[in-house]
Amino acid sequence: MKKNIILGLVALLMSSCAEQVTTRLAQYPKMYEEKPLAIAVMPPINQTNFVEAKDYFYTTLYAPLCEKGYYVFSPMMTMEMFQSESAYDAEQFIDADLSQFRNVLGADAAMFTIIKSWKRNKIGGTLTAGVEYILRSTKTGETLYKREGLISVDTSIHSSGGGLFGALIDLAATAVATAATDKVVAGRRCTVYVLSDMPEGRYGTLYDKDQNMPAGQSYVKATVK
């Protein structure tokens, strides 16, 4: 009797754990329905006091999206168009009709990013970026993908020396390395990590094969090298 109760509890526990795993198909069904091919990257919406974050971060989005198997319009080309059409402030489009980007560019979707925090810790050796990613369809206006991350890029340095002197050397080296870490590199690492569970596009090796792969939490916090 006791054995049956224990087995029942184990089965219940295992089933509850299994229920917590969400597939990419379940989390991002619109991605598989619309199957977007071409993505226009919108200028980031910067909510921080670091005014340069918008331009720095904009350049980090192209490569990770390409690596996910999507055709991404050239940032240089789209930026010129956005500026000439007074569309540099993506705030006015994030909840608006996006059909013009489909008609003019031929984009299937538009990627919006909201930079919520950007902090540098020279002593601790980290660069931390808080960014929300929102992919909207230019055809239906639906949100196809949405995820937010608070990602710290670890730039700390550890020498082989020990003791107080070695610790001081490590501290100084970490401060220099953090100050010199390229903001673009840090931004790209943040994007790669957060978009890791994004269903792959037509040019990806897992295109139309990753429906049953696990999706991540809608908000993720991590430290990456």
Residue ranges for the chain with pLDDT beneath 70 = 1-19, 86-87, 122-125, 155-182
Residue 108, beta-bridge partner list:
none
Residue 201 belongs to a domain? yes
Q: What integer pLDDT is reported at residue 172 of this predicted model?
A: 42
pTM of the predicted protein model: 0.80
Q: What is the CATH number of the domain that holds 59?
A: 3.40.50.10610
Q: Which residues contact 96 (CB under 8 A, 6 or more apart)?
A: none
Q: What is the largest CA-CA distance in the chain?
A: 76
* pLDDT on residue 182: 58
Q: Is residue 107 part of a domain?
A: yes
Residue 164 lies in a domain: no
Cα–Cα distance between 207 and 199 in angstroms, integer? 7
Q: How far is CA 202 from the centre of its chain?
A: 19
- Let me know if residue 75 belongs to a domain: yes
Distance CA 160, CA 178 (A): 19
Q: What is the pLDDT of residue 56?
A: 81
Q: How many domains does the chain have?
A: 1
Q: What is residue 155's predicted lDDT score, i.e. its pLDDT?
A: 65
Q: Kindly state whether residue 11 falls inside one of the protein's structural domains.
A: no
Q: What pLDDT is recorded for position 180?
A: 43
Range of the domain at 36: 23-120+129-150+190-215
Euclidean distance between CA atoms 82 and 55, whole angstroms = 13
Q: What pLDDT score was predicted for residue 16?
A: 47
CB-count burial class (<10 Å; 0-12, 13-18, 19+) for 146: middle
Residue 138 falls inside a structural domain: yes
To the nearest 10°, the Cα dihedral for 29, 209, 197, 22?
A: 60
Tell me the C-alpha to C-alpha distance, in Å, between residue 214 and each of 148, 194, 211: 17, 14, 8
Is residue 184, in this structure, part of any structural domain at all?
no
